[in-house]
């Protein structure tokens, strides 16, 4: 059994080290392991798993939410967010830095993607805050950290993937992500307020030139975002639409917003469709490869072996979760977060369920931890997004985002100590339809 586990690890490390796509690497590991250690028709199993996974009804929501985010990326939504939030954030400690957090929180509720959230909000906030004299490091760090909210606040692409792989209700996962997402955004704002109060050189001198009339006028600019949130989340939580149907409603809403902002043209629409196809294809390949590897490991008895070894350590439930916290945080330094989840979930989920944790709770815990992978080099997507927009070195952006990494780890520990933070809404909300 040790030889099987060693073979799986060696083949996976070699494949990833040679630059093989993650999805293909997962297929390769499963095929080679089964061919080497089992006598069975691997090609038939591969065909069955690939077809079964690709036609899973729950995955219909995935390309639609991705398309919605791509359409919105080509609109003027980032400008609307800034003009709507800036008058209200101007009087807070930290002032316009909070626009990064608030803007990412709102856009996360209609995109589901961390990289898309960072890119859309950063398109306007980075230039505006740099021009007004805000410290470059704290501007970049706050955007990198807040952009990770796109993975947690529903509708989240990663939660959809987790729900499919774990056979957990996607709608309940969405509901469970609301409170932790808002608390995490609040912690970011508290940190920014405290940091800029201690070091006032990080923000320019305050100017009290914003009237209440301007503040209420700014709310009009938030209308498109509010409309989309109401259409997508309202239709799901009201019991009027499934996640897949809500995703279709979101695409319609994104097209309406794009048309109202005069951004709807054939060029932008074709770019959005091509971007959605590329992203969906990449994610679909990874999911299918992960499911095949999961089934292969089941045939090989790897999850049972690892579970037996960990059980022999006699860890408490809290110690197990802390071990997984360190494991996933370290894994995020070498693997993108979604890949880390799909590759390890067949092993880690049974372990935590055996310790009495709810799969819904573990999904939120997992997303918070792998959010750190978005801002840790060398594979942090948010770091690359911000580098492309600023031209700064990855190392500098990663150091600027380090406090937000610590906040995310603290949040993961908090929901472990107080799991009701995650389970409060799923345990009390009755879904209609």
Q: In which band, very low, low, confident or very high, does the pLDDT at 164 lie, cut at 50, 70 and 90?
A: confident
Q: Is 420 helix (H, G, I), strand (E, B) or coil?
A: helix
pLDDT in tens, 65-80: 888 888 888 888 878 8
Q: Would you state the pLDDT for residue 39?
A: 81
Q: What percent of the chain has pLDDT over 90?
A: 30
Q: For residue 413, what pLDDT is reported?
A: 95
> Per residue in 188-204, pLDDT tens?
999 999 999 999 999 98
Rounded CA gap, 432 and 224, in Å?
27
Identify which of 114, 25, 28 has the alpha carbon closest to the alpha carbon of residue 69. Answer: 114
pLDDT tens digits for range 324-359? 998 888 877 767 777 788 878 888 898 899 889 999
- Mean pLDDT (whole number) for 285-299: 83
CA 318 to chain centre: 24
Quickly tell me which residue has 């808002």 as its tokens: 182
**pLDDT tens-digit series, residues 226-254:** 888 888 888 888 878 888 888 899 899 98
Reported as a single tens digit per residue, the pLDDT across 273-283 is 998 898 888 88
The position carrying tokens 């944790």 is 357
Domain ranges in the chain are 2-428
Q: Are 292 and 26 in contact (CB under 8 A)?
A: yes
Q: In the predicted model, what is the mean pLDDT of residues 377-385?
A: 78
Q: What is the pLDDT of residue 181?
A: 95
Q: Cα 114 to chain center, whole Å?
A: 5
**In sequence order, what are the residues at sequence separation of 6 or more whose Cβ sits closer than 8 angstroms to the Cβ of residue 48?**
none
**Is the model's pLDDT at 412 over the cut of 60?**
yes
Name the burial class of residue 268, with classes exposed (0-12), middle (13-18) and buried (19+) by CB atoms within 10 angstroms of its CB.
Answer: middle
**pLDDT over threshold 80, residue 212:** no
Residue 432 has pLDDT above 70, yes or no: no
The span from the CA of 375 to the CA of 290, in Å, is 23
Rounded distance between C-alpha atoms, residue 225 and residue 104, angstroms: 11
State the average pLDDT over residues 93-118. Answer: 88
User: Does position 10 have pLDDT exceeding 90, yes or no?
Assistant: no
Residue 334 has a pLDDT of 66
**pTM of the complete model:** 0.84
């Amino acid at each position: 059994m040790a030889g099987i586990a060693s073979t799986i690890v060696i083949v996976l490390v070699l494949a990833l080290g040679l630059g093989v796509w993650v999805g293909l690497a997962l297929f390769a590991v499963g095929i080679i392991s089964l061919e080497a250690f089992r006598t069975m028709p691997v090609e038939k199993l591969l065909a069955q798993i690939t077809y079964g996974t690709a036609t899973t009804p729950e995955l219909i929501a995935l390309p639609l939410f991705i398309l919605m985010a791509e359409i919105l990326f080509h609109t003027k939504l980032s400008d609307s967010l800034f003009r709507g939030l800036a008058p209200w954030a101007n009087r807070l400690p930290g002032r316009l830095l909070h626009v990064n957090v608030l803007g990412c929180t709102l856009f996360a509720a209609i995109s589901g993607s961390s990289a898309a959230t960072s890119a859309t909000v950063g398109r306007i906030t980075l230039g505006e805050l740099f021009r007004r004299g805000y410290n470059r490091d704290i501007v970049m760090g706050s955007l990198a950290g807040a952009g990770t909210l796109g993975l947690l606040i529903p509708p989240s692409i990663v939660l959809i993937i987790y729900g499919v792989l774990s056979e957990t209700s996607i709608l309940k996962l969405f509901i469970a992500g609301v409170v932790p997402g808002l608390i995490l955004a609040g912690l970011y704002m508290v940190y920014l307020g405290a940091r800029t109060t201690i070091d006032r050189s990080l923000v320019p001198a305050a100017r009290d030139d914003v009237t209440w009339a301007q503040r209420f006028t700014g709310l009009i600019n938030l209308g498109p975002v509010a409309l989309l949130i109401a259409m997508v989340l309202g239709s799901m939580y009201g019991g009027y639409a499934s996640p897949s149907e809500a995703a279709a409603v979101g695409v319609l809403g994104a097209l309406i917003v794009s048309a109202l902002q005069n951004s709807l043209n054939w060029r932008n629409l074709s770019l959005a469709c091509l971007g959605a196809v590329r992203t969906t294809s990449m994610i679909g390949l990874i999911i299918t490869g992960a499911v095949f590897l999961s089934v292969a490991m089941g045939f090989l008895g790897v999850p049972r072996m690892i579970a037996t070894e960990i059980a022999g350590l006699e860890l408490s439930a809290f110690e197990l979760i802390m071990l997984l916290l360190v494991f996933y945080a370290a894994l995020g330094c070498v693997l993108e977060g979604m890949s880390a989840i799909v590759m390890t979930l067949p092993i880690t989920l049974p372990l935590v369920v055996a310790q009495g944790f709810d799969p819904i709770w573990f999904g939120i815990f997992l997303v918070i931890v792998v959010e750190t992978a978005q801002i840790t080099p060398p594979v942090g997507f948010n770091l690359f997004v911000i580098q492309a927009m600023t031209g700064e070195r990855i190392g500098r952006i990663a150091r600027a985002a380090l406090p937000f990494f610590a906040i995310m780890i603290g949040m993961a520990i908090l929901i472990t100590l107080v799991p009701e933070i995650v389970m409060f809404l799923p345990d009390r909300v009755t879904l209609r339809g």
